[in-house]
A and B are shown apart, each in its own frame.
Chain A
Amino acid sequence: MSQTATLQKDPILEKAYEQYRSASLPDFESESWRKIRLGGFRIDEYPADGSVLETLTEGPVEVLDVNEVLSKDGELAEKIRSRIEERLKEADIFSLLSISSALSAKAVVVKGNLDQPVTIRHIAKSGRRFPVLTFLFFETSSSGCVIEEFRSETGEDALFTGLTDIYCAPNSQANYVSFRRPQDTDLHFLRTEADIQKDARLLTSVIHAGGQNGKSFVRARAMEPNAEFRGIGFHTGWAAQFHDMEMEAIHPADHTNSSLLYKTVMQGRSHSVFNGNLVIPAGVKHVDSYQSNHNILLSKKARAESMPRLVIFSEDVACEHGATVGELDEQALFFLMSRGLPEQEARKMLIEGFMGEIFSETPIGQEKTEDYWNEIHPLLNL
């Protein structure tokens, strides 16, 4: 456990820090954590001293510093404290680190309709430990997109932890895109938590490439009727990389919808795990939910696992799940080659089409989509 003192003074952050100091690593036998192999891992091997994280922001609304907001009190400060209080109820040690000792803590309040995305770019410049904390508030009837990037260019093994908390007020249309490009030797534990109110819709898109070992969570609660959650994601890994993505849709209210789509292209000896959780408590009616997970293995030694977990205590609901793991579709390959395409081109086209579904649904505009595509595409060695 790190003994690095936190600089924040707000009581809620001090409470988080105390909780962090007494927290232990996750139980690696538990269902959520059992796939990740972190034998011998200790957080204090990743010291905070000397860590430099640059956070750049751009877009039509101001990105606020959480510590400044908390120091001035006011309505937003209260909202942030309330969200932190909520997260502290079941935070793992990595989330506690992000809350209590964030090198970058930002908040965005979206009002009205944003015509272009807000971008928050975290770039690890030097050092080894990078906790990040972000709050997004989509106010009533607002709409917009927030992009958060996590990048590392330290040149040494680093630990990236992040907690992004999203609140979607009634009738809001919220989009959140998380683009992650850790170094090949980094550990990464990034969590997204969201609450969606009446008639609101949230889309989260996670595009992730690289990192040695890590676990991601995307968890959304459709709190009130007509709340809708759409979670999509794309991951590619190579060498002996491991990434476990856990997406969870919780439906505590009637007449709510959710859908998950997660795709991976795995190379080398890399290993992907997808946990798709759906939770519908007893007595809840008219929930519509489906999830799908598709994985392409480009190497004999690459692995992908799909683990849907549907915890349904109610009867009047419609839920589906589906998953595929395998090599490229031979029939589709044959079809393209029979039209005159060389095999290499045909393979490339199929994989581009496969990942293109996620990129095209990610609402970040053509230019940004092309930037991300051009960054990810070469990593696939097509």
Chain B
Amino acid sequence: MEKIATTDQIPDQGMISVKTSIGPVCLVSLNGKILAFEDRCSHDDGPLSNGKIKGNCVVCPRHAAEFDMHTGDVIRAPATAPIEVFPVHIEGNEVHVNLD
């Protein structure tokens, strides 16, 4: 587990991008729960943190591919491969993410 942010940095129903040892990771506060996934669309490398939240999905700003933020699964083309999601653990106000 790696501490990569604090909870107050993540706006409610919003996203931030955090630079980590494995590249940029997107943190989302969704209905009081914090989710983490790679900040890179599997289709064309678009920065997902610049996209939109649509229900449980994130929409890539580049070609509108959609991914489930809980599982990383592709919901809408043109992406065909899932994105990587990471387990999140909150300690106090620290956001720890398992990047292995």
Say yes or no: B24 contacts A39, CB within 8 Å.
Answer: yes
**Interfacial chain A residues near B24, Cβ < 8 Å:** 37, 39
**Interfacial chain A residues near B21, Cβ < 8 Å:** 240
For B17, B21, B24, B45, which residue has the most chain A Cβ atoms within 10 angstroms?
A: B45
* Cβ of A41 to closest chain B Cβ, rounded Å: 10
- Cβ 8 A contact of B45, one of A35, A39, A40: A35
> In the bound complex, how far is the Cα of B40 from the Cα of A34, in angstroms?
12
Q: Does B19 sit within 8 A of A, measured CB to CB?
A: yes
Q: Does A309 sit within 8 A of B, measured CB to CB?
A: no
CB-defined interface of B42-72 with A at 8 Å, one 1/0 digit per residue? 0001010000000000000000000000000
**Interfacial chain A residues near B19, Cβ < 8 Å:** 39-40
> In the bound complex, how far is the Cα of B45 from the Cα of A35, in angstroms?
7
Say yes or no: A269 contacts B47, CB within 8 Å.
Answer: no
**Interfacial chain B residues near A37, Cβ < 8 Å:** 23-24, 40, 45, 47
> In the bound complex, how far is the Cα of B45 from the Cα of A217, in angstroms?
20
Number of chain A residues close to chain B: CB under 8 A: 10
Say yes or no: A34 contacts B45, CB within 8 Å.
Answer: yes
Number of chain B residues close to chain A: CB under 8 A: 10
> In the bound complex, how far is the Cα of B47 from the Cα of A40, in angstroms?
14
Q: Does A301 sit within 8 A of B, measured CB to CB?
A: yes
Interface residues of A in 12-51 (CB under 8 A from B): 34-35, 37, 39-40
> In the bound complex, how far is the Cα of B47 from the Cα of A292, in angstroms?
28
Say yes or no: A39 contacts B23, CB within 8 Å.
Answer: no
* Cβ of A283 to closest chain B Cβ, rounded Å: 34
Q: Does B84 sit within 8 A of A, measured CB to CB?
A: yes
**Interfacial chain A residues near B23, Cβ < 8 Å:** 37, 240, 242, 269
> In the bound complex, how far is the Cα of B84 from the Cα of A39, in angstroms?
20
**Interfacial chain A residues near B40, Cβ < 8 Å:** 37
Interface residues of A in 224-255 (CB under 8 A from B): 239-240, 242
* Cβ of B92 to closest chain A Cβ, rounded Å: 26
> In the bound complex, how far is the Cα of B43 from the Cα of A184, in angstroms?
26
Say yes or no: B22 contacts A39, CB within 8 Å.
Answer: no
Q: A240-B22, A269-B22 are in contact. List 11 more A-B contacts (CB 8 A).
A: A34-B45, A37-B23, A37-B24, A37-B40, A37-B47, A39-B17, A39-B47, A40-B19, A240-B23, A242-B23, A301-B84
CB<8 Å pairs between A and B, sample of 18 = A34-B45, A35-B45, A37-B23, A37-B40, A37-B45, A37-B47, A39-B17, A39-B19, A39-B24, A39-B47, A40-B19, A239-B22, A240-B21, A240-B22, A240-B23, A242-B23, A269-B23, A301-B84
The 8 closest A-B pairs by CB, nearest first: A240-B22, A240-B23, A35-B45, A269-B22, A37-B24, A240-B21, A39-B24, A39-B17
